[in-house]
Structures are given as C-alpha cells and as structure tokens.
Amino acid sequence: MDNARESISGAYMTIEGLLQILTQAIFFFLAGITLFRWWRYPSRLHLDTMLVFLSMGLAFLGQDLQALFPEFSSIFTILIATALIIHPYFLLRLVKYFHPIPLWIQRLALAGLIFVLISFAFLQISPVLPLVLAIGYFAIIQGYASYIIVRGAITIKGFLGHRLRLASIGSGLLALLFIVALVLLVIIILNPSIPAPAWFNTSVQPIFALSGIGYYLGFAPPRWIKQNWQYKEFYNFVNQTARQSYNDSRLALFEKLATGALQSIGGETALVINWDGSKESFTIEVQSDPPLPIESFQVPPDRVTEIWKNKQGYLAYIPQDVMSETAQWANEFGAKTMYVVPIIGALQPWGRLLILMRYEPLFVQDDLDLLALLVTEIATSLDKASLIQELQQRQNALEVANKELESFSYSVSHDLRAPLRAVNGFSQALVSKYADSLDEQGVHYLNRIKENTHQMGQLIDDLLSLSRISRREMEKDNVNLTRLAREIDENLRAQEPERQVLFEVEEQVEGLGDADLIKIALQNLISNAWKFTSSRASASVQVGVLPTQNEDKVFFVRDNGVGFDMTYANKLFGAFQRLHSTAEFPGTGIGLAIVQRIIHRHGGTVWAEAELEKGATFYFTLGETHEK
C-alpha cells in the first residue's frame, strides 16, 4: 500500500500505478452505484450489496487519504483495516440471497469480527497477533463466502449463474490473496530472516485489479454483456420449450413457460394462474414440480391484487414487505417474494405467471427483463396455436357447410325433376289419348306446358353441372391452353360446318390448373364466342395471353360478335343471368357462371370488356402466383 504515495505524487506511468488507478476506479464506481441504488430503492438486499462495495471503496479511499494527509496516517490505517476486515462479513450477508447460510455461521462471523476489531486495541503491545488474527479471519470468511459463490457459479443456471461466474472471480481472487498473505506472514513470524518474496508484492496490484473487474462485471455488467446473457437464456428457452409449439395445447405451453422460467431465473415454484370472476379467486392452471398442495387461492383486495386482475397488467416484483400482506398463502409454503408476469398475446390475456422465491432475488431487473422476453414468446405461441385451431375449426365448418350445400343441391335437382316428369307425362297422355276432345287451342296450351317442363329440366341439369364443377377434386398441372382451344374449335366446326369463323390462337399458351376444368371453362367461352358471332358475315375468335410481367398471366377469348352493354357487366357471371333474349341466342345462362366458378376455384379472377355490336373480350387469370 506504499505504492499509493508514489502514485499520488506523480508516478502514474508505471503499470502498477495504472492498475491501481483502474482498481480504485472500479471499486469507487461499484460503491457509488450500489449506494445510489440503496438510497433510491431502500431494501435489505440493496443495503447488503451496498455494504460489500462500500467497505472495499472505503479501504481504497483510506489509502488515498493516507497519502494526501500523512500526518493522520494512523487514523486512516485503522479505517483501512476496519473496512477490509468487515468486508468478508458483508459478503457473507450477500451470499445468503442465493444460498441459505446457517444462522450460527453468520453469528460466528459477526463475533469473530468484533473479536478481531477489539484485538486492534492491543496493536501497540504486540503487533503480530492482531495482524495474524485479522488476516486469518479475512481469509477464512472470505474463503467460505467465495466457496459458496464459486459453487453457485457452477450449479446455478440462468441469468444469475452468468453473474456469479464473474463475481466468483472477484471474491475468489481476494480470498486467494489473503490466504497467501496469511501463509507468508506465518512463515515470516516463524523465521524472520526470510524476506517477503518479491512476486507477492508485485502480484498484489494486478490481483486487486482483476478482482475489481470480476466484481464489476458480475454486479454492474455493461449493457452489451447483459444482452448477450439475455440472448443466451432466451435462445435456450426457445430451443427447449417453444419448438413445435403450433400443436401444443394451452396447458402444454403454460407448462413449458413455468419450467423454462424457473430454469432461467431460479425460484421455488412457478405457477400460471387465471382470475376466476365467479369464485372471486385465482385458479392455478399449471405449476412446476414440486406442486403446491392447493388448486386456487384468495387474495385480499388491494392495489397489488388489482395489478394481478388487470388485463393490461405490468410485470411486477412483489418484495417481502408487500408480499406478507398480499399472499399469506404463499408465505405458508415458504415463499417470501414473488414475480407476477402477465401473459398477454395479441388476441387476449392468457393468464399470469407467478414465480415464488424463498429469498429476495439479487437482480430483480435482470429477471424482469428476461421474464418479459420468455412470456412474450409464449404468448405469441399461444396466439399462433389458437389462430391455427380457429382456422381449422372454420375450415371444418366450411367443409360441413359445403357438404350440406352439395347434398342440398343434389337432392333439389333430383326432387325437382319428379313433379316435372309428372306434369310432362300427363300432359303428353292428354295430348295423345284425349286429342279428340281437345280443340286446337287446348293442344296448344298443353304443348306450352310441355315446352316449359323441358326448359325447367334444362335449368335443373345446368344447376347440377354447376354443383358438379364445385365438387370435383382438382389436380393442378401445366395445361396447354393452345391445344385445348384447338380441340374445342374443331368440335364446334364439326357441329356447325356451315359457319365461317376465323379462329386465331396464340402458340404455346400455358397455364397452371386442372386440365379438365380449364377445358370446360374454355369450352363455354369459345362456344359463347361462336354463338354471339353467328350474325356476323366474317366472324372471328381469338384466344391468347396478354403481355404482362411478374403477375398472373391474363388469358383472353375475344370475338367480334354482338357484344353487350357494359352497364350490365356485373350481371354477366350470375347463374341464369342473360343479357340477350332466348329468341336471339339460345341458352339458360349457366355457361359464364360455370366459367366463373372454375376460375374462382383456381384462385383466379374473370372479367369482361365489351361494346354493343363491337364484340366482347373475356379475360381470366388462374391465380398462379399464389401457388409459389
């Protein structure tokens, strides 16, 4: 500690001097930050943390003051000695937050401390014994505390583990330093002729510095290190718990959250609870092992309860004093504090995660930050799972509704035909067997009846074919529309050999779809084109694809026929909608409804452009880009 004088008086450029400045800076910083925390949020935990670093800080401060005011050297020596001796006791008090320390050890440490301090009064009589006692006390208590910290660093998982691993370097190095000092001191007392080894003197400062860095990183780590730990924990959690969560039920996801949260931040028991308004109590949905022997619990109405019930609740840490009022039930199971974390998804609040702890957690903010991440992840999975479930339910409902519609249209088509057959049949019987008793007008009426039964029979058949289009299984493949159009054209030519129609089809028009269905659609569109150009001297029909890029291909069937008024374009694709009289052009008006249904089943769209007497163009897409 003599180095202090040199460093203060200007020998900054030695490595030792620099190390000393670094060490002091670290311990002053830690003392300052923990003092501030205790002042801002007074609690036993913050007090104990503050005392650990304040004692170290005071030791270094005393050293500096000693150098500045050499005339009060002995007073500062006592300050330094007291601060150093008291440090391991404070460390022991801190250790109990993650590992229970038997009360007798705490009392023994306190008694030893007092004894050592008293022994300083005899410093003038025999300087050696109090020194040995002091260093011995320090080495034993610091060593014990460090042992627990190192053990914690190895055994404790999660966020606390990361911090303890670094803190263990801090306390472990200090303990090592003092144990070595004790051994050297004993050797020197026993054999005063042996000088203190030089390596010890030179290694004191670096060890202090390293210990300071360890403490600093463990207790006040910079943000990027914290985020790194957070990321690691979150990654582990997602890896272990949230994989394949799509198929998980709500309770399975709750269970994953409870176990995952306990692994990440520690604690006794994790529960997922929900407010049951009818019973005015909280029901426990899942809990980690070992479970509490309760299924639900009451909480006296107060501010904390309101936070719990509130749907937009916040993450909360419930410290010991509040806890004792709010959750006596938890106290019965040895829990002294707890975390309350709302699990809120985009769709709904799913519940509350409770983590019961026997000890005040060392780093509340760490835990809350991490819990927020874990809970958000699970809430997202819960949302996803419920959306998928809802989607499946809706799909099932749709399928059922579709089936019902199918069987409806099927039986309607069947049952509608029967009376029609009777009307037609008996009319026919009248015409053939009672022709003598009927005059010409009577026969005319009967024939009108028969014609209408024909018409209605046709309509029913069309309805059936429309429903058949909807029911067909689709098999998508590459379809050569050019080839299909040519086949259709040839058939039409064979049926109406007297017609002169100029048919132009683009080469290699290909689309992705069900070949049979597309053929039916093309059949309807092309035969419409034939039909509505029947009054044209030089009829022309064109089939092709529009030049577009990066979008669905737009296919078209164009004719130079009678066209239609675009005012009625919206009626074009309705079943049994006709824009021309049956006398002009025959048909029931089912064709375009079938075309539309086929295109819609492919996920495409169909529309038309036309002008009266100037022809019509029908466009359609097959929804191909959705497939990719």
The label of the residue with tokens 């009319």 reads 427
Site membership for other proteins, residue 499 (CB under 8 A)? no
Task: Please name the residue ranges forming H helices in 241-363.
Answer: 250-265, 303-309, 320-326, 328-332
Task: Give me the least distance between CB of 257 and other proteins, in Å please.
Answer: 50
Which residue in 414, 444, 448, 626 binds other proteins (CB under 8 A)?
414
Task: Give me the least distance between CB of 238 and other proteins, in Å please.
Answer: 50
DSSP conformation letters of 480-514: EHHHHHHHHHHHHHHH-TT--EEEEE-TT-EEEE-
C-beta closer to other proteins: residue 41 or 426: 426
- For 55, residues 6+ apart whose C-beta sits below 8 A from its C-beta are 83, 84, 86, 87, 90
Task: Give me the least distance between CB of 439 and other proteins, in Å please.
Answer: 22
C-alpha distance from residue 90 to each of 27, 49, 85, 87, 611 (Å): 15, 8, 10, 5, 94
Q: In which element (H, E) is residue 610 found?
A: strand 606-611
Q: Is 206 helix (H, G, I), strand (E, B) or coil?
A: helix
Site membership for other proteins, residue 516 (CB under 8 A)? no
C-beta closer to other proteins: residue 64 or 461: 461
The one segment of 329-337, 369-377, 421-429, 551-559 that binds other proteins by CB under 8 A: 421-429
C-beta closer to other proteins: residue 123 or 464: 464
Which residue in 429, 435, 474, 612 binds other proteins (CB under 8 A)?
429
The one segment of 31-39, 308-316, 357-365, 418-426 that binds other proteins by CB under 8 A: 418-426
Task: Give me the least distance between CB of 451 and other proteins, in Å please.
Answer: 10
Q: Is 539 helix (H, G, I), strand (E, B) or coil?
A: strand
Number of residues that bind other proteins (CB under 8 A): 24
Site membership for other proteins, residue 407 (CB under 8 A)? no
C-beta closer to other proteins: residue 444 or 454: 454
Site membership for other proteins, residue 438 (CB under 8 A)? no
Site membership for other proteins, residue 493 (CB under 8 A)? no
Q: What are phi and psi for residue 285, nearest 5 degrees?
A: -80, -55
Task: Give me the least distance between CB of 538 and other proteins, in Å please.
Answer: 38
- Mapping DSSP onto H, E and C, the string for 30-92 reads HHHHHHHHHHHCCCHHHHHHHHHHHHHHHHHHHHHHHHHCHHHHHHHHHHHHHHHHHHHHHHH
C-beta closer to other proteins: residue 151 or 450: 450
Site membership for other proteins, residue 409 (CB under 8 A)? no
Query: Site map for other proteins, 449-478, x if CB under 8 A?
Result: -x--xx-xx---x--x---x----------
Task: Give me the least distance between CB of 442 and other proteins, in Å please.
Answer: 18
Which residue in 417, 476, 493, 536 binds other proteins (CB under 8 A)?
417
The single-letter DSSP state of residue 543 is: E
The one segment of 51-59, 414-422, 519-527, 531-539 that binds other proteins by CB under 8 A: 414-422
The one segment of 87-95, 270-278, 446-454, 476-484 that binds other proteins by CB under 8 A: 446-454
CA-based nearest residue to 372, from 353, 389, 358, 392 = 353
CA-based nearest residue to 56, from 171, 148, 145, 203 = 171
The one segment of 99-107, 251-259, 410-418, 502-510 that binds other proteins by CB under 8 A: 410-418
Task: Please name the residue ranges forming H helices in 220-249.
Answer: 223-237
The single-letter DSSP state of residue 337 is: E
Residue 36: how many CB atoms within 10 A of its CB? 12
Residue type, 377: E
CA-based nearest residue to 318, from 285, 344, 354 = 354
The one segment of 187-195, 231-239, 409-417, 579-587 that binds other proteins by CB under 8 A: 409-417
Site membership for other proteins, residue 420 (CB under 8 A)? yes
Site membership for other proteins, residue 624 (CB under 8 A)? no
Per CB under 8 A, contacts with other proteins among 377-396 are none
C-beta closer to other proteins: residue 25 or 464: 464
Task: Give me the least distance between CB of 397 and other proteins, in Å please.
Answer: 24
Prior bond of 349 cis (ω within 30°)? no
Which residue in 243, 421, 444, 448 binds other proteins (CB under 8 A)?
421
Token pair of 447, please? 């024939």
Which residue in 41, 426, 434, 576 binds other proteins (CB under 8 A)?
426
Write the Ramachandran bin of 603: left for phi over 0, alpha for psi from -120 to 50, otherwise beta. left
Site membership for other proteins, residue 412 (CB under 8 A)? no
Which residue in 205, 287, 424, 527 binds other proteins (CB under 8 A)?
424
Residue 393: how many CB atoms within 10 A of its CB? 10
Task: Give me the least distance between CB of 414 and other proteins, in Å please.
Answer: 5
C-beta closer to other proteins: residue 426 or 576: 426
Task: Report angle CA 457, 465, 598 to the nearest 5 degrees.
Answer: 145
Task: Give me the least distance between CB of 520 and other proteins, in Å please.
Answer: 14
- For 184, residues 6+ apart whose C-beta sits below 8 A from its C-beta are 196, 197, 200
Residue 234: how many CB atoms within 10 A of its CB? 19
Task: Give me the least distance between CB of 425 and other proteins, in Å please.
Answer: 4
The single-letter DSSP state of residue 581 is: -
C-beta closer to other proteins: residue 184 or 456: 456
Residues that bind other proteins (CB under 8 A): 410, 413-415, 417-422, 424-429, 450, 453-454, 456-457, 461, 464, 468
